Structure 1
Amino acid sequence: MSTASSLNDFLRSRRARLRPQDVSLPEYGGTRRVAGLRREELAQLAGVSVDYYTRMEQGRVANPSEAVLDSLARALRLTEDETRHLHQLARPRRTARSARPQPPRPQKVRPMLQRLLDELHDVPAFVMGRRMDVLAWNAAACALLGDYSLLDPAERNVARITFLDPAARTLYADWTSCARENVAYLHLQAGQRPDDPLLASLIGELSVKSQDFRRWWAEHPVQDKTSGTKRFHHPLVGDLELAYETLRTADDPDQALVTYAADPGTPSHDALHMLLAWSAPAEQATP
């Protein structure tokens, strides 16, 4: 993954989604040759020269200041996640590298997160690591999302399952929304880890095997996975609407505990407990 090309794609995609009237610039008559803002218009809004912005968009500015990046973020009306992504792409962390970089070490679930999973009998939960890999899970997660123990470890990945497992398109009632969120999160990961060969391999595989992934990846969405609501159409209990939370520890943000729960007294709450009761005799899942 080239940081320079990612920065170019990101800035161009964000220019393209804004029109002059969106940022209080006059729009003159005639056909515009580019979608969205021109480089000179964005440079004017951000208070930088056109030459400087052009070189930045092309990845030819080695160390732009945080003030310039923040000014560009305001001009482009970026979200907080997008602003952090812009800083990561424009000012990538420099790390000492050997002549032949070694692949990242496999992650192991933190013992405390495993203990929490073991205690969450009535709450579907799993631990997500780098690249959206599923590191550990509880029996309730298997009942809701599928049995991860039946998958090869290399296939235990949220994005891979979402795009390549046909059952996911039925399980997630808002499959398109869920899938696009995964693309946005992987873009965020790519900005943080431009030299991760396993992440590059995953993105390449999904781009080859999924036309949807390939199309949405080109839009360069960026969004962290935090909290929200997901709707499911489960083959055993039908429709459920569950709130999810993504909890990270301060000293190891590369591992997140993802939990699902239903509001008490709702049909989704009853359906979830019915599902867990039916699945209770199943063998406890272990990574």
Structure 2
Amino acid sequence: MTSSPSPLGDFLRGRRDRLTPEALGLPVYGRRRVAGLRREEVAMLTGVSVDYYVRLEQGREVSPSPQVLDSLGEVLRLDHEGRQHLYRLAGLSPRPEPPAPVEEADASLVELMLSWTGSPALLFGRAFDVLATNPLGEALFGGFAFSRNLTRATFLDPAARTFYPDWHRVAENTVAGLRLADGLTPGHPRIREVVDELRVKSPDFVAMWDQHDARGKRLTVKRFQHPEVGYLELDVHAFEVRGATGQELVVYHARPGSASAEALSLLGSIAATRALG
């Protein structure tokens, strides 16, 4: 005899239907009868038997452990509020959210960045907060006068659409990178904070976020229209920081002898003069 669906089962089924196997890195073979994940796939990723998961969705299992709920939250890509709701549906008190670890720049990495006097270098956190720069990187981005979070600046600073001649491409890549980070660390407080703000303040962000593109940096060349030195076309090199999950080091480089190299040199001189006086 099949039990009536429970609120917990309805919630699990609804979340399962909204996820695709591709979003979780699962292989897809042939035609699928369901648009979302299969029960078997959720069970496998959660680490429970298929029979147990079926009982959860059908309302025949009413006492899942906190460990199972935590695993389901990861697999179903639930944010903080979604995990709290999952706990309540299971009849358990929501777990307090652990404080997010403070993202800091490693001192030796900053020292290395400072040694690159001819190339702008920036260190980003998960939500594209600028954790460290060298002087040329600081000058390239105008001291981050609007915000030291480049996601916010890209969508909320009116000057960004002039600063980036390819603003739409830059914005799409920024959102895709943020979506990738959100998938790797579901419910991360800083990412949720930035996403929640931009969903309210930027229709462009909402449209791009809802495309669900998730990928790392793909722009190998980035164009800038700098208010002090004019047009710059710079090669982009992005590196994951070992030992600091979620951090990314981005270095910009002008090809020797190019007009952009001359403009970057001028920008360095302006920044050095400003620092002295």
1:11 to 20, 28, 52: 20
For residues 197 and 14 of structure 2, the distance between their equivalents in structure 1, rounded to whole angstroms, comes to 19
Deviations 1:26-62 (A, max 9, x none): xxxxxxxxxxxxxxxxx9x723651xx3451799833
For residues 172 and 218 of structure 1, the distance between their equivalents in structure 2, rounded to whole angstroms, comes to 22
Helix, strand or coil for the counterpart of 2:131? strand
1:63 to 33, 37, 44: 44
2:186 to 185, 194, 201: 194
| Preserved contact between residue 232 and residue 241 of structure 1 (Cα < 8 Å) | yes
Does 2:262 correspond to 1:270? yes
Aligned length: 223
Q: CA deviation at 1:230?
A: 0.3
Helix, strand or coil for the counterpart of 1:103? coil
Aligned to 1:126: 122
Aligned to 2:176: 184
- Give 2:212's aligned amino acid: H
Aligned to 1:141: 137
Q: Structure 1 residues 178 and 247 mapped into 2: Cα distance closer, same or farther (>3 Å)?
A: same
Q: How does 1:223-262 map to 2 (within 5 A)?
A: 223-225=215-217, 228-262=220-254
| Preserved contact between residue 3 and residue 89 of structure 1 (Cα < 8 Å) | no
For residues 207 and 59 of structure 1, the distance between their equivalents in structure 2, rounded to whole angstroms, comes to 34
2:98 to 94, 98, 102: 102
Helix, strand or coil for the counterpart of 1:132? coil
Structure 1 unpaired stretches of 5+: 15-42, 66-87
Over the aligned positions, Cα root-mean-square deviation in angstroms equals 3.5
Aligned to 1:28: none
Task: Name segments (4+ residues, structure 1) moved above 4 Å.
Answer: 2-10, 57-60, 88-93
Q: CA deviation at 1:254?
A: 2.2
Helix, strand or coil for the counterpart of 1:178? helix
Q: CA deviation at 1:116?
A: 1.1
Q: How does 1:32-111 map to 2 (within 5 A)?
A: 46-47=29-30, 50=33, 53-54=34-35, 56=37, 61-63=42-44, 90=75, 99-111=95-107
Does 2:157 correspond to 1:165? yes
Q: Structure 1 residues 220 and 164 mapped into 2: Cα distance closer, same or farther (>3 Å)?
A: same
Q: Identity of counterpart residues, as a percentage?
A: 33
Structure 2 unpaired stretches of 5+: 1-10, 47-72, 79-83, 85-93
- Give 2:172's aligned amino acid: R
Q: Structure 1 residues 7 and 218 mapped into 2: Cα distance closer, same or farther (>3 Å)?
A: farther
Q: Structure 1 residues 49 and 256 mapped into 2: Cα distance closer, same or farther (>3 Å)?
A: closer
For residues 199 and 283 of structure 1, the distance between their equivalents in structure 2, rounded to whole angstroms, comes to 33
Structure with the greater alpha carbon radius of gyration: 2
| Preserved contact between residue 18 and residue 36 of structure 2 (Cα < 8 Å) | no
Q: TM-score, normalised by structure 1?
A: 0.67
| Preserved contact between residue 7 and residue 90 of structure 1 (Cα < 8 Å) | no
- Give 1:123's aligned amino acid: S
| Preserved contact between residue 3 and residue 194 of structure 1 (Cα < 8 Å) | no
| Preserved contact between residue 127 and residue 256 of structure 1 (Cα < 8 Å) | yes
| Preserved contact between residue 223 and residue 231 of structure 2 (Cα < 8 Å) | yes
For residues 209 and 100 of structure 1, the distance between their equivalents in structure 2, rounded to whole angstroms, comes to 29
Does 2:231 correspond to 1:211? no
Does 2:166 correspond to 1:174? yes
For residues 258 and 7 of structure 1, the distance between their equivalents in structure 2, rounded to whole angstroms, comes to 36
Q: TM-score, normalised by structure 2?
A: 0.69
Helix, strand or coil for the counterpart of 1:271? helix
- Give 2:30's aligned amino acid: G
